[in-house]
Amino acid sequence: MTMAKKQPFKQGEKLLFAIFGAFFIAAVIGYVVLESVRLHSDKPMFQSRTHYDLTPEGKRGSSIFRKQGCTSCHRAMRNGTNMGLSLDGIGSRRTKEWLLNFLANPEQTYGAATFDHGPAPKEAAYVAQLPKEDREAMAVFLSELTAEQGSPSAPVPPSAKSGFIDSMVKMWAPKNWKNEFQDVRTTMDEDTKEEER
């Protein structure tokens, strides 16, 4: 039995390996530089647009949230994991009542099957079994995790004009869209001016 003879790399294969190697080395160098800058900087690289101002009941809910191990799946107050939904800013998207209903009856409130919340054997089935007072405190806590307008977790875009948004609207929206719809950024600007008066 004869062994197959090893063939040398062809010129094109060598070129592809060289290009891949160059990209890989550039990515590693870029990562090292970025992490070095991030670790030695006294300012955060990205401005946080989510915030919280917890009431005493919200603080109690935060404590329950952590003691129950909710941070093993969720991120809140910039702590926890991203295995599940990040809850920073959820108070700007959901009401306290909706959150309370979800904690008690997740799938019924959500209107569909959920990954971890719901009846046993789902991993977070214990949440619905918590005492009502604890679920209420957690709902208060979650409702107090709000987002500034324009953040990724806010329900409305930035109030100021955005070149990117304006160019996308110009490119994709029908010509008569302003006759049928109202620009929420303009509405938000008008509401802000009303509040200032």
How many beta carbons lie within 10 A of that of residue 67, not counting itself?
10
CATH number at residue 105: 1.10.760.10
Q: What is the pLDDT of residues 44-55, one digit of tens each?
A: 666 667 778 899
68/28 Cα distance (integer angstroms)? 39
Residues 57 and 128 in one domain: yes
- Reply yes or no on whether the pLDDT at 40 is more than 70: yes
Q: Could you give the CA distance from residue 92 to residue 144 in angstroms, rounded to a whole number?
A: 8
One domain, residues 78 and 102: yes
Judge if 55 and 135 occupy the same domain: yes
CA distance 89 to 142: 8
Residue range of the domain that includes 57: 50-147
pLDDT tens digits along 7-16: 888 888 889 9
The closest of 17, 151, 127, 136 to 74, measured between CA atoms, is 127
For residues 79 and 56, state if they share a domain: yes
Does the pTM surpass 0.75? The reply is: no
Banded model confidence at residue 56, pLDDT cuts 50, 70, 90: very high
The predicted-structure confidence for 172-189, as pLDDT tens digits, reads as follows: 888 888 788 877 776 655
Same domain, 114 and 167: no
Please check the confidence at residue 80 and state whether its pLDDT lies above 70: yes
Torsion region of 77: left, alpha or beta (phi above 0 gives left; psi -120 to 50 gives alpha): left
Do residues 101 and 70 both lie within one domain? yes
- Helix H, strand E, coil C: the string for 134-196 is HHHHHHHHHHCEEECCCCCCCCCCCCCCCHHHHHHHHHHCCCCHHHHCCCHHHHHHHHHHHHH
**Amino acid identity, position 144:** E
Q: Does 125 lie in the same domain as 71? A: yes
Q: What is the pLDDT of residue 54?
A: 94
Residue 108 sits in the same domain as residue 136? yes
